[in-house]
Amino acid sequence: MNCSNGTNESNTTNAAVSTASNDAQTPLMLPAVPSNPSATTGVPQATLRLDQLGPVIVNSDGTLARIDNWAALTDAEKRNIERLLVRRNCARLEALRAADNTKDT
């Protein structure tokens, strides 16, 4: 339902065009990067250590898991598990990446 006459519509259109041309002349600028970003964000710079949970296990389907009784294992058991897991996780990750690459091509 168009109730206005042609002159009002053209005035509105001209006003919109002149506003757009003024905006085009003035580029929008991003705010300056602060010299010390941690001072302005208010986010604490804390580190969360997850060593007590044990190593991450990469399953053959790509899911991740942890050893439930990691805290109960002896240091020798932990070293052996870590040594084996590093090798097995690398092999599984390579296989998953290779499968993903063949799926993409």
Mean per-residue pLDDT, 54-67? 94
Digit-coded pLDDT (tens) for 67-96:
999 999 999 999 999 999 999 999 999 999
Q: Look up the pTM and report it.
A: 0.51
Residue 3: the pLDDT is 46
Paired tokens of 77: 């058991």
Q: Where are the domains positioned within the chain?
A: 52-104
Phi/psi-derived region of residue 42, left when phi > 0, alpha when psi is between -120 and 50, beta in every other case? left
Residue 20 above 80 pLDDT? no
> Could you tell me the two tokens for 70?
């990691």
Contacts 24+ apart (CB under 8 A), 85-88: 85/55, 85/57, 86/55, 88/58
